[in-house]
Copies of this chain bind each other. A is one copy, B any other.
Amino acid sequence: MTGGVPPRGFPDAEFDRRVTAAQVLMDERGIDALLVCTEPEVRYFTGFFTPFWQSPTRPWFVVVPPTGRPIAVVPGIGEETMGETWVEDIRTWPAPRPDDDGITLLSQTLVEVAGRMGRIGLPMGHETHLRMPLSDYDTLRRSLDGAAFVDATSIVRDLRMTKSELEIAKMRHICEIVSCAFEGIPGLLAVGMTEREAFAAFKVDLLRRGADDVPYLVGATGPGFSNVIKQPDDRVIERGDLLMFDTGSVFDGYSSDFDRYYAFDEADEAARRAYETVWEATEAGLSVLRPGTTTSDLWAAMAEVLSQGGSLGNPVGRLGHGLGMQVTEWPSNSQDDGTVITDGMVLTLEPGLTWEPGKMMLHEENVVVRADGPELLSRRAPAEIPIIG
């Protein structure tokens, strides 16, 4: 590990920069107020950070005005946590209150900020959702007396796709922890363990190495497998098995997302060839990755190698994606995505192929895009499949 543990949280200047950038985009697009209600967006603009979002009971709202700091409209239980952020204007109600769960308070705040005929931006597009009851949203809409919601996906998408150095430092740290844990797997796992035991051992190892949490861990064992979002079961690992682990582990609310393959004692020729093809596809992706390339160019560079390697298909629907507070974020490295890649984007390269029916190989690396090309955050996978035992 290099560089030590990055500081927790962010200085107020980071939030000020994010909000000011949003306000520039709001002004360009004629948006008088921006409403966000999902965990990453609320955290992005305020720093409000708690696992309490797992409770579906209470909605949380943040309103970004044309100038100045965001306004939080939140349940009373969150007042103290929100009060520790840079937000100064915190409005609360005693939630849960199903008859009016913050809707009157939010409506007043939106009209105050946007004006009676204002345009209120709300993310409505791809990769977004509305984290409040739909019936409350309908009540809210009807309460605005002329102000109306418009789609503001592009604002949060454009901002969140490019990471600051402070964000990148957190992601580099968790990627280093996970890289070390992956390198330690041959000493941790052995033939005769069940999948469940292997998963549990790996999760504990990640935590002991400094991950805050391991919210995403999937994997599989066997002579080959095609389910790349699999949970563990009681299957006992055998000699000759392949193992895949894919984890989104987190440090201070920022995620890694990469996987590794191993073979117990030996790998057959076809599996080794598939591994090498996918490894080479990643190389092809890395070789074209720089500002100005599009996600579709990146897709094409990897897809070409997979196709030449005899791919029988890939159900994932893309060859990587953005990475940040969430284990997957905009953009998608897909044939039609066409997003222009810029300096500071953090992406996964995730080429995959089916090499025999029911047998899939899917590699993943995490990189930050720099002016002169990619900087790996994950430690590059070995060029040949590692053998355990």
A317 / chain B contacts, CB cutoff of 8 Å: 58, 75-77, 94-97
A334 / chain B contacts, CB cutoff of 8 Å: 96
A230 / chain B contacts, CB cutoff of 8 Å: 50, 80-81
Q: Does A217 belong to the interface (CB within 8 Å)?
A: yes
Q: Does A131 belong to the interface (CB within 8 Å)?
A: yes
Contact B129 A328 (CB under 8 A): no
Encoded as 1 (CB less than 8 Å from any B CB) or 0, chain A from 210 to 245 comes to 000111111000000011111101100000000000
Give the CA-CA distance A122 to B179 in the complex, in Å: 43
A327 / chain B contacts, CB cutoff of 8 Å: 54-55
A window 245-296: CB within 8 A of B: 248
Give the CA-CA distance A328 to B58 in the complex, in Å: 10
User: Shortest beta-carbon distance, A314 to chain B, in Å?
Assistant: 9
Contact B229 A81 (CB under 8 A): yes
Encoded as 1 (CB less than 8 Å from any B CB) or 0, chain A from 315 to 339 comes to 1111001000011110010100000
Contact B134 A79 (CB under 8 A): no
Give the CA-CA distance A98 to B81 in the complex, in Å: 35
User: Shortest beta-carbon distance, A326 to chain B, in Å?
Assistant: 6
CB within 8 Å for A57 and B125 given contacts A50-B229, A51-B217, A130-B134: no
A328 / chain B contacts, CB cutoff of 8 Å: 55-57
Q: Does A373 belong to the interface (CB within 8 Å)?
A: no
Contact B151 A126 (CB under 8 A): no
Q: Does A132 belong to the interface (CB within 8 Å)?
A: yes
User: Shortest beta-carbon distance, A359 to chain B, in Å?
Assistant: 12
Which chain B residue has the least Cβ–Cβ distance from A39? B56
A233 / chain B contacts, CB cutoff of 8 Å: 8
Q: CB within 8 A of A54: which of B51, B226, B326? A: B326
Q: Does A207 belong to the interface (CB within 8 Å)?
A: yes
Number of interface residues, chain A, beta carbon within 8 A: 69
CB within 8 Å for A129 and B133 given contacts A233-B8, A317-B94: yes
Q: Does A312 belong to the interface (CB within 8 Å)?
A: no
Q: CB within 8 A of A231: which of B49, B134, B135? A: B49
Contact A55 B135 (CB under 8 A): no
Contact A56 B96 (CB under 8 A): no
Give the CA-CA distance A77 to B334 in the complex, in Å: 15
A126 / chain B contacts, CB cutoff of 8 Å: 57, 96, 98, 101, 133
Q: Does A186 belong to the interface (CB within 8 Å)?
A: no
Which chain B residue has the least Cβ–Cβ distance from A329? B56
Q: Does A104 belong to the interface (CB within 8 Å)?
A: no
A51 / chain B contacts, CB cutoff of 8 Å: 215-218, 229, 231
Q: Which 10 residue pairs of A and B lie closest in terms of their CB atoms, listed nearest first?
A: A124-B134, A55-B328, A98-B126, A80-B227, A76-B315, A52-B229, A124-B135, A50-B229, A57-B328, A129-B131
